[in-house]
Amino acid sequence: MTVNNVIIVGGGLVGALAGCYFAKRGWDVSVYEKRADTRLEKNRLKKKSKSINLSISTRGLSAVERLDPELLKKVASITVPAYGRMVHEIGGKTVHAIRYSENGDYTSAVNRDILNQVLLTQLETYKNVKVYFEHKLETCDLKSKTARFRDLTTGECINTRADLIIGADGAYSKVRQRLQSSTRINLEQKYIDHAYCELLMQPKNNEFALDPDYVHIWPRETFLLLALPNIDKSFTCTLFMPLETFDSIQTYDDLVHFFEKNFPDTIELFGEEALKRYFENPKGDLFYIKTNPHHYSGNGLIVGDAAHCTVPFYAQGMNCGFEDIETLDVFLVEQAKMASAAKVSGANQDDDDDDDDVKTNKLTPQQIEAALIKYSACRPKDSAAMIDLALYNYTELRSGVNNPMVTVKIFMERK
């Protein structure tokens, strides 16, 4: 048998990590990404503004480490650790800190683009990988394992086929749509009546404008301002509010009045120019999507936001997507080990082989399917739980932290 090949649709955070894992296991990997390569200077401004700062936690870092401990070091070098929440009380004069633990546990803030670029660069270190930027999936057929991409630079169409098609194409996934027409898939989607807008707080005198050891929050019961530190000493701040509150702010005076009332301590730190970006910056929708199962036969699988898009209040969307890839790898490795043990009939199965050395690139369709069945038996449940926690945590972040009793009450009600 020649080696297996895989098509990965989407070279975002999860698609790039998935590509690295398949390449490490010996598969021929083709990653198709509709955006231009943001590592090239000329493409930097092309990208649409999306959330630019994320929190990466143990769940996500574990997947990076399993792939390559050296990569973990690279990722660590582009993060800023945050050891807890700094709560900015109303009035702007008082703050109080809530540490994540007494043992110095932390979560790490990382710039989305820089992390994506590190993963893409890692992906290109494998010889068995081809990355096609500016190639958009037009359609795919999971039964025949074929896909059609459009080269956005020439307008040409490319038809291709692989042993496995992975949809890592985000919340509006086309692969998910195609999966729905191939198999019975349960899907739950819901928009919440809140949106978000990002604002950048630049450094002051070349230093962080706020204490960088914390995720800063301004909980205001029905809405929330949140700030995460960046390695360039700026803070990415995100305003999460009901849609009607966004609608009520139409002029710069409205905005200043709103900030004076709710976040007075931030006005000077932002400055007029940064605050005015409120009117230009996109207002992002907040919604979740739960799907089950995540796969079709041994032919296709959705991962990351394509499978389980979440509201961001638990900071686990990408982390959970990274865990998808680690879990998938565990099940594929398991299949490869079983296959090699079966070949050496009579010999003792060597389960102690270090997973790191295992190649999974010669699996039959049945073996791939066996791994995907196991995958769908656990990941949809786990990601659905993560989505529920994220919905709950919005109340906790914008209100519960102001009053611990409310937190307990809400938790009891949800149980």
Binding residues (CB under 6 A) for ligand FAD: these are 9-15, 32-35, 51, 54-55, 136-137, 168-170, 174, 196, 238, 284, 304-306, 312, 315-319, 321
Rounded to the nearest whole angstrom, what is the least distance from the CB of residue 115 to ligand FAD in the complex?
A: 10
The burial of 169, by beta-carbon neighbours within 10 Å (0-12 exposed, 13-18 middle, 19 or more buried), is given as buried
Rounded to the nearest whole angstrom, what is the least distance from the CB of residue 12 to ligand FAD in the complex?
A: 2
Rounded to the nearest whole angstrom, what is the least distance from the CB of residue 297 to ligand FAD in the complex?
A: 22
Instruction: Tell me which residue has tokens 């730190």.
Output: 269
Q: Which is nearer to ligand FAD, 134 or 369 (CB)?
A: 134
Q: Which is nearer to ligand FAD, 196 or 223 (CB)?
A: 196
The burial of 347, by beta-carbon neighbours within 10 Å (0-12 exposed, 13-18 middle, 19 or more buried), is given as exposed
Cα 399 to Cα 9: distance, rounded to the nearest angstrom: 39
Cα 88 to Cα 227: distance, rounded to the nearest angstrom: 11
Give the angle subtended at the CA of 55 by the CAs of 50 and 57, to the nearest 5°.
145
Residues 80 and 232: beta-carbon distance below 8 Å: no
Q: Which is nearer to ligand FAD, 146 or 340 (CB)?
A: 146
How far is CA 158 from its chain centroid? 28
Residues 167 and 306: beta-carbon distance below 8 Å: yes
Rounded to the nearest whole angstrom, what is the least distance from the CB of residue 357 to ligand FAD in the complex?
A: 27
Q: Kindly give, in sequence order, each residue whose CB lies less than 8 Å from that of residue 357, ignoring residues fewer than 6 positions away.
A: none
Rounded to the nearest whole angstrom, what is the least distance from the CB of residue 340 to ligand FAD in the complex?
A: 32
Query: CB neighbours (10 Å) of residue 340?
Result: 16
Rounded to the nearest whole angstrom, what is the least distance from the CB of residue 32 to ligand FAD in the complex?
A: 5
Q: Which is nearer to ligand FAD, 13 or 210 (CB)?
A: 13
End-to-end Cα spacing for the chain = 52
Question: Tokens representing 47?
Answer: 């990208």
Sign of the Cα torsion 63, 65, 67, 70 reads positive
Q: Which is nearer to ligand FAD, 5 or 79 (CB)?
A: 79
Rounded to the nearest whole angstrom, what is the least distance from the CB of residue 35 to ligand FAD in the complex?
A: 4
Rounded to the nearest whole angstrom, what is the least distance from the CB of residue 414 to ligand FAD in the complex?
A: 22
Full strand arrangement of the beta sheet holding 84-88:
95-99, 84-88, 215-219, 224-229, 235-242, 186-201, 284-292
Q: Which is nearer to ligand FAD, 13 or 237 (CB)?
A: 13
Q: Which is nearer to ligand FAD, 21 or 196 (CB)?
A: 196
Q: Which is nearer to ligand FAD, 11 or 293 (CB)?
A: 11
Rounded to the nearest whole angstrom, what is the least distance from the CB of residue 405 to ligand FAD in the complex?
A: 27
Q: Which is nearer to ligand FAD, 385 or 408 (CB)?
A: 385
Distances (CA, A) of 150 to 161, 237, 302: 15, 36, 20
Nearest residue to 190 via CA among 314, 283, 317, 309: 309
Q: Which is nearer to ligand FAD, 9 or 165 (CB)?
A: 9
Annotate 287-334 with three-state secondary structure.
EEEEEECCEECCCEEECCHHHHCCCHHHCCHHHHHHHHHHHHHHHHHH
Query: Rounded to the nearest 10 degrees, what angle do helices 317-343 and 365-398 cross at?
Result: 160
Rounded to the nearest whole angstrom, what is the least distance from the CB of residue 42 to ligand FAD in the complex?
A: 18
